[in-house]
Structure 1
Amino acid sequence: MTFPDVWTQGSHTHDDVSHPTYRQGTGPGVIVIHEIPGITPSVAAFGQEVVDAGYTVVMPSLFGKDGAGMSPLSLGNSMRQVCVSREFTKLRVGETTPVAGWLRSLARDLHEELGGPGVGALGMCFTGGFALAMMVDAPVTAPVLCQPSAPFAVGGKRSRDVNLSRGDLDIVKGKCAAGQQVLGLRYRKDPAVGKRFETLTQELGDAFIRVELDGVGHSTVTEQRKQEGVDAVLGFFADNLH
């Protein structure tokens, strides 16, 4: 496929902050949040899989060059953007990423337009925990965390942190106690995820569904995509968005 030609470009603004968006499909809404270095062809290809499964997919562009491939140059450029941006937490623990407010606003608008029980939200790698943050104040009924890797897993405390404030984590725990589920995917030996899956199991209990893949890899639904992981995501969306 050619990206972004098959996607309709738009934008979303919240609190005077605007980011481009790409949209395609019909059916319940799903927000796919790209990994570093940005909306690569493999991220767009995964978004297309979700579209083809019967969903309206919106991909916000938060950093990086849209459509650029995975390369040392694109990785370096997007890392520089991330490191100077105040929208993202990189090393602090016990703090919700500031861009969560913008993403929650996007989810509320999409749900208001499409209706249904709620919208899906999927983050990956650096944005892997963002779907969890969106649960706090948005109609997100199908949150998916693919290899959540922020804050950067430098040291034991950071490797266990789930990129949420204590208050926001308590809200998420309350929703899970009321029946909400959270899906997490990772390669079992991926060091970038740290001990976050253990934290999520401890905090959310059986509401946290773990899909842990064998082999060497990081990006569970894109660069090192495994059908097992993609099938788990699509099944989770089907169970929670229809």
Structure 2
Amino acid sequence: MAGFAEEVVDAGYTVVMPSLFGKDGAGMTPLSTARALRQVCVSREFTKLRTGETTPVAGWLRSLARDLHAELGGPGVGALGMCFTGGFALAMMVDAPVTAPVLCQPSTPFVPGRKRAADLNLSPADLDIVKGRCAAGQQVLGLQFRKDPLTGTRFETLTRELGDAFIRVEFDGIGHSTVTTHRQQAGVDAVLAFFADNLR
């Protein structure tokens, strides 16, 4: 993740990586993953299974985006979520200056279950705001592997709800981490191009 962040810095952007859970710098091992999941499961800041609800941590992330935009200026802020945080970039669009939201393999609420697999981790009111911003010209970029069991049918929901405003980038196979562990260069290129189009 840090390596990908350095690429974004090299492309000319300021990057902030909020530490929401887990141990900073820890490798992705079964033990570190279990510890992070335990931390997530007891935290009230995250929704894990509930549908039709915006994750509570979105309020803090929106505040962070507003502060960064006030400090650095520019046309807006990019937000990129991965896996558990994949949908957070969508939630940040609600009342923050996020003009380049990227959803990499959004995986909450946790599947299984048809309803959870399709849920965007947003309340109906927040989804209406996102749809309004998209109708006014905002775009949303999404990346996933087509056979990733963790992303459920969220891309179908995004396509239905956002229409042409949702830019859908998909890769063959069962991988998961589109710009990091299972890196797809076409995905990295799509993210950097999306940032260039919306943040410069």
TM-score (norm 1): 0.82
3-state SS of 2:101 partner: strand
**Map of 1:85-104 to 2, 5 A cutoff?**
85-104=43-62
How many residues align? The count is 200
**Map of 1:156-167 to 2, 5 A cutoff?**
156-167=114-125
Letter in 1 for 2:103: L
Segments of 5+ residues of structure 1 without an aligned counterpart are 1-42
In structure 2, the partner of 1:28 is none
* Whole-angstrom CA distance in 2 between matches of 1:166 and 1:215: 32
In structure 2, the partner of 1:200 is 158
Asked whether the 8 Å contact 2:148–2:173 carries over to 1, the reply is: no
Deviation at 1:110, TM superposition (A): 0.3
3-state SS of 1:120 partner: strand
Identify which of 61, 73, 81 aligns with 2:31.
73
Identify which of 121, 131, 147 aligns with 1:189.
147
- Per-residue CA distance 1:82-136 (angstroms, 9 max, x = gap): 0000000000000000000000000000000111110000000000000000000
Identify which of 82, 95, 119 aligns with 2:40.
82
3-state SS of 2:150 partner: helix
3-state SS of 2:175 partner: coil
* Whole-angstrom CA distance in 2 between matches of 1:182 and 1:194: 18
Identity over aligned pairs, percent = 82
Q: Does 1:228 align with 2:186?
A: yes
Letter in 1 for 2:79: A
* Whole-angstrom CA distance in 2 between matches of 1:79 and 1:154: 17
Letter in 2 for 1:48: E
In structure 2, the partner of 1:144 is 102
In structure 2, the partner of 1:117 is 75
- Per-residue CA distance 1:134-171 (angstroms, 9 max, x = gap): 00010000000000000002110000000000000000
Letter in 1 for 2:19: S
Q: Does 1:214 align with 2:194?
A: no
RMSD (CA atoms)? 0.5
In structure 2, the partner of 1:29 is none
More helix by share: 2
* Whole-angstrom CA distance in 2 between matches of 1:153 and 1:216: 16
Identify which of 116, 119, 127 aligns with 2:85.
127
Letter in 1 for 2:120: V
Asked whether the 8 Å contact 2:148–2:176 carries over to 1, the reply is: yes
3-state SS of 1:175 partner: helix
* Whole-angstrom CA distance in 2 between matches of 1:173 and 1:214: 28
Deviation at 1:216, TM superposition (A): 2.9
